[in-house]
């Protein structure tokens, strides 16, 4: 049963009524620009046809009652539920969405039934689709008047409350995507630009066979990179004599010509506490996260992480130019360089992802790379239209699948 029908049927089965509305929130893949968004630097993702569907209706009590075809344990959450106290990982995202609404529901409860054809814990943003879809559904159900930019900001904040200190890429592309287009997102200053995909280009995504959860060890590894790049940004700013207010990010210094050169002057490894002491700033500036505090004495490879982020931001600029010039070969070379940097400098690839990228490239893809945070999950390949089947076959042979073609699709909407 396709997800829209499955969500409606589950709502009727569990709640004995028809849903008031149905929301579709797509997954996404990131073509290039990995681990740049939380550094205030650009990304180039697109939404895909696979999506999470949410059937939504009012409840008689001030609670969120939710069932999901993908998870066996239903949720029954008070409106003030603590995301950190949620025993089930998917409940944590529901609770975080309630938390960022900050009383807007005014004691009104909701029922939600969820179905999806997005693989969970895959790096295709199933969690972001859930959060964006839930906020959109609650806004429509109760007339909350949340405009799209505010909804995107709330969804990003919710995911940070759920545990990983993510940037705003996933939420923006899920909410704002346009069919047939990539979405370039800039953060400092904020802007978006839709880039039409050349008609003879195609994209394939394939699983490495390893999950990419946003909790546990993967969340800790992700947050380590957030903190390390903050440290790198502050150290580069100090070398440049630049003032950075608030939480430092590499986007604060990336436009200064000397910044990429000064990366090589960074310490190979340093703890946040030692860096803070050398700069005369509070260590909390580096280690405070939305839902946690990072260990200030952990020794972090700041030079390699900063080298990846600054180079990756420039690859996004070059990739946009390649798209506009319909130069698939140039895009493919940038994707392969991105993957090598994620493997060698950012250290978030895995042997399975490396083998998958190599197999898809050998089968005729112009280029391939991991997509999402890494540590498992999916890879994306770009190829000429008509070569998808060969790339999919090679991916399945290398990693076991699933693998499938994806088209740039429209963003979240009420159906």
**Catalytic residue positions?**
170
The CB density around residue 303, as the number of other CB atoms within 10 Å, is 20
Q: 190: which strand partners?
A: 187
Residue with tokens 């073509």: 31
CA distance 230 to 210: 29
Rounded to an integer, what distance in angstroms lies between the CA atom of residue 305 and that of residue 201? Answer: 31
**C-alpha span between 155 and 107 (Å, rounded):** 20
**At 339, phi and psi to the nearest 5?**
-65, -40
Q: How far apart are CA 349 and CA 103, in angstroms?
A: 40
Q: Which helix (H) or strand (E) holds 354?
A: helix 351-362
Phi, psi dihedral angles at 284 (to 5 degrees): -60, -25
Q: What is the CA radius of gyration of the chain?
A: 21
Alpha-carbon span 53 to 70, nearest angstrom: 12
Closest of 275, 254, 271 to residue 263, by C-alpha: 254
For the record, the structure tokens of 355 come out as: 């083998």
Residue 302: count of CB within 10 angstroms of its CB: 28
Contact 177, 28 (CB under 8 A): yes
C-alpha dist (Å) from residue 408 to 20, 48, 199: 29, 5, 11
Alpha-carbon distance of 116 to 70, in angstroms, equals 7
Q: Under a CB-based contact definition with an 8 Å cutoff, are residues 250 and 233 in contact?
A: yes
Report which DSSP code applies to 165: -
């Amino acid at each position: 049963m396709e997800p829209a029908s499955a969500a409606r049927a589950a709502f009727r089965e569990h709640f004995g009524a028809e849903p008031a509305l149905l929301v579709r929130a797509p997954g996404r893949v990131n073509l290039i620009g990995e681990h740049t968004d939380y550094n205030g630097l650009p990304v180039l993702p697109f939404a895909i046809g696979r999506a999470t569907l949410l059937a939504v209706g009012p409840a008689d009590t001030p609670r969120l009652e939710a069932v999901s075809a993908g998870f066996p344990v239903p949720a029954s959450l008070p409106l003030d539920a603590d995301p950190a106290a949620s025993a089930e990982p998917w409940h944590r995202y529901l609770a975080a969405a309630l938390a960022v609404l900050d009383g807007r529901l005014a004691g009104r409860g909701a029922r939600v039934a969820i179905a999806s054809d997005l693989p969970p814990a895959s790096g295709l943003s199933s969690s972001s689709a859930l959060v964006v879809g839930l906020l959109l559904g609650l806004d429509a159900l109760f007339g909350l008047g949340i405009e799209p930019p505010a909804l995107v900001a709330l969804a990003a904040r919710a995911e940070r409350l759920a545990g990983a200190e993510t940037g705003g890429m996933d939420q923006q592309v899920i909410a704002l995507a346009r069919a047939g287009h990539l979405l370039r997102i800039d953060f400092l200053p904020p802007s978006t630009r839709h880039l039409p995909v050349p008609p003879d280009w195609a994209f394939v995504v394939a699983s490495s066979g390893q999950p990419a959860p946003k909790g546990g060890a993967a969340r800790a590894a992700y947050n380590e990179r957030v903190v390390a790049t903050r440290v790198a940004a502050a150290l580069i700013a100090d070398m440049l004599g630049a003032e950075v207010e608030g939480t430092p990010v590499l986007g604060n210094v990336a436009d200064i010509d000397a910044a990429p050169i000064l990366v090589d002057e960074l310490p190979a490894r340093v703890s946040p506490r030692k860096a803070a002491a050398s700069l005369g700033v509070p260590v909390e500036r580096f280690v405070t996260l939305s839902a946690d505090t990072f260990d200030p004495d952990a020794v972090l490879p700041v030079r390699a992480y900063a080298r990846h982020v600054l180079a990756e931001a420039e690859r996004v600029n070059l990739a946009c130019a390649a798209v506009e010039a319909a130069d698939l070969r140039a895009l493919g070379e940038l994707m392969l360089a991105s993957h090598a940097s994620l493997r060698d400098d950012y250290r978030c690839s895995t042997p399975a992802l490396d083998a998958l990228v190599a197999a898809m490239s050998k089968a005729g893809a112009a280029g391939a790379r991991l997509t999402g945070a890494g540590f498992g999950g999916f890879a994306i390949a770009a190829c000429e239209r008509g070569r998808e089947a060969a790339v999919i076959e090679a991916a399945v042979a290398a990693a076991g699948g699933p693998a499938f073609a994806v088209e740039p699709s429209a963003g979240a909407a009420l159906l």
